[in-house]
Amino acid sequence: MSWLAPLSLAQLGALLAAAFGLLAWLHLRTPRPQRTRVAFLDAWDEVAPQRAGRPAKWALTKSWPLLRAIAIVTLIGVALVDPKPSWLASPARTTLLVLDAGAHMRATDEKPSRFERARELASGLLEQQAAGDRVMVAQLDSTVTALSGWSETRERVQLQAAVGAARVSHEATRFEALSRFAREQLRGKPGAEVLLVSDGAFEIAPSELKALRDAGVELRQLKVGQSTDNLAIRAFAVRAYPWGGERCEALVELENTGPRPRDVELALFEEGRPIDVRPFRLEASSRVRKLLEFGATGARFSARISAKAGVADAQPLDDEAYAVLAQAPPRRVLLVTEGQRYLESALALDRRLLVEKQAPGAYRSAQGYDLVIFDRFVPSEPPGVATLWLAPSEAAPGTLAPYRVLGSIDRPFFDEARSDEPLLRSVSLRDVNIRRAQRAQLEPNDEVLARSKLGPLIVKGLRAGVPFIALTFDVRESDLVLRTGWPILVSQLVRELTAAGSAALDVPLQLGRLQSRDVTASGEVSAKLRAPSGKTTDLDVRGQRVQLTPEEPGFYELRSTGSLQLMAANVGSDAPATIEPREWAPAPAPDRPLRRSWHSRGAAWSLLFGALLVLALEVWRSSRGWKR
Amino acid sequence: MAAPADKPKLQPLDEAFQRRLRTLSLASRHTSRIAFGRGQHRSRSLGPGTEFADYREYSAGDDYRHIDWNAYARSERLLVRQHEQETELSVSVLLDCSASMGTGDPPKLDYALQLTAAIAQIALQRSDRLALVAIRDRIVASFGSGPGVARAHGAFEFLRTLEASGPTSLATACRAFCARTRRRGLAVLVSDLYDPAGVPPAIDVLRRARFDVRVIRVVDPAEHEGLAPGEYELIDSETERSRQLSITPEVRAAYRAARDREAFALRRACLERHVPLYAIETNISPEEAVLSRLRQAGMFQ
How many structural domains does chain A have? 4
Residues A493-499, mean pLDDT to the nearest whole number: 84
pLDDT over 70 at B50, yes or no:
no
Same domain flag for A139 and A155? yes
pLDDT tens digit sequence for B193-229: 999 899 999 999 999 998 999 999 999 999 888 998 8
pLDDT > 70: percent of chain B: 87
> Each residue of A274-330: pLDDT tens digit?
988 889 888 888 888 888 888 877 888 999 988 876 666 788 888 899 998 876 678
Q: Is the pLDDT of residue A591 over 70?
A: no
Range(s) of the domain holding residue A151: 94-226+586-600
Determine contact: A49 vs chain B, CB below 8 A: no
Nearest CA in chain B to A57: B244
- State the smallest CA–CA distance between residue A593 and chain B in angstroms: 53
**Domains of chain B, residue spans:** 15-32+89-296, 41-87
Res B1: pLDDT: 43
A358, A446: one domain: yes
Is B251 within 8 Å of A40 when comparing Cβ atoms? no
Residues of chain B with a CB closer than 8 angstroms to some CB in chain A: 1, 3-4, 100-101, 103-104, 108, 192, 194, 196, 220, 223, 227, 229-239, 241-251, 254-255, 257-259, 262
Rounded CA separation A76/A13 (Å): 13
CA distances from A227 to A110, A531, A582 (A): 9, 32, 11
Contact B244 A43 (CB under 8 A): no
Q: What pLDDT sits at residue A628? A: 38
A502 in Cβ contact with A496 (< 8 Å): no
Residue A572 lies in a domain: no
Among A170-174, A411-415, B199-203, whose mean pLDDT is lowest? A170-174
Contacts of B246 in chain A (CB under 8 A): 61
Residue A296 CB partners (closer than 8 Å, separation 6+): A238, A246, A248, A270, A275, A325
pLDDT (tens digit, 9 = 90+) per residue, B5-34? 454 478 888 888 888 888 888 877 655 444
The verdict on A483 and A371 lying in the same domain is yes
Same domain, A348 and A281: no
CATH number at residue A222: 3.40.50.410
CATH for A460:
3.40.50.880
Q: Where is A356: in which H helix or E strand?
A: strand A353-358
The predicted model scores a pTM of: 0.46
Q: Give the best residue of A32, A44, A624 to mutate against chain B (max B CB count within 10 A).
A: A44
So what's the pLDDT on residue B115? Answer: 93
CA nearest to A242, candidates A9, A492, A590: A492
- Angle B170-180/B200-208 helices, nearest 10 degrees? 10
Q: Are A214 and A240 members of one domain?
A: no
- In a domain, residue A543? The reply is no
Looking at the structure, tell me whether residues A16 and A120 fall in a common domain: no
Which of A35, A45, A625 lies nearest to residue B233, judging by beta carbons? A35
Searching chain B, which residue's CA lies closest to the CA of residue A64?
A: B231
- 3-state SS, one letter per residue, for chain B: CCCCCCCCCCCCCCHHHHHHHCCCCECCCCCCCCCCCCCCEEEEEEEEEEEEEEEEECCCCCCHHHECHHHHHHHCCCEEEEEEEEECCEEEEEEECCHHHHCCCCCHHHHHHHHHHHHHHHHHHCCCEEEEEEECCCEEEEEEECCCHHHHHHHHHHHHCCCCCCCCCHHHHHHHHHHHCCCCCEEEEEECCCCCCCCHHHHHHHHHCCCEEEEEEEECHHHHHCCCCEEEEEEECCCCCEEEEEECHHHHHHHHHHHHHHHHHHHHHHHHCCCCEEEEECCCCHHHHHHHHHHHCCCEC
**ipTM value > 0.90:** no
Report residue A70's pLDDT band, with 50, 70 and 90 as the boundaries.
Answer: confident
Are residue A349 and residue A489 in the same domain, yes or no? Answer: yes
Domain membership of residue A513 (yes or no) is no
Tens of pLDDT along A419-454?
A: 888 888 888 888 899 999 999 888 888 999 999 999
For helices A175-186 and A206-214, the axis angle rounded to 10 degrees is 10
| Pick from A32, A38, A625: CB nearest B236 | A38
Same domain as A492, residue A379: yes
Note whether A139 and A195 are same-domain residues.
yes
CATH 1.20.210.10 fits B15-32+89-296, yes or no: no
Instruction: List chain A residues with CB under 8 Å of B108.
Output: 39
Residue A531 lies in a domain: no
* Residues A200 and A276 reside in one and the same domain: no
Range picked from A91-95, A310-314, A458-462 for highest mean pLDDT? A458-462
User: With an 8 Å Cβ cutoff, are A43 and B255 in contact?
Assistant: yes
Does A564 map to a domain? no
Domain-ending residue, one of A274, A302, A324: A324
pLDDT (0 to 100) of residue A595: 41
Q: Collapsing DSSP states into helix, strand and coil, what is residue A425? A: coil
Q: Which of A82-96, A142-156, B138-152, B234-248 has the lowest mean pLDDT?
A: A82-96
**Is the same domain home to A399 and A258?**
no
Q: Is there a cis peptide before residue B147, judged by omega within 30 degrees of 0?
A: no
Residue A178 is assigned to a structural domain of this protein: yes
Is residue B36 over pLDDT 60? no
Task: Assess whether A384 and A491 both reside in one domain.
Answer: yes
A620 domain-assigned: yes
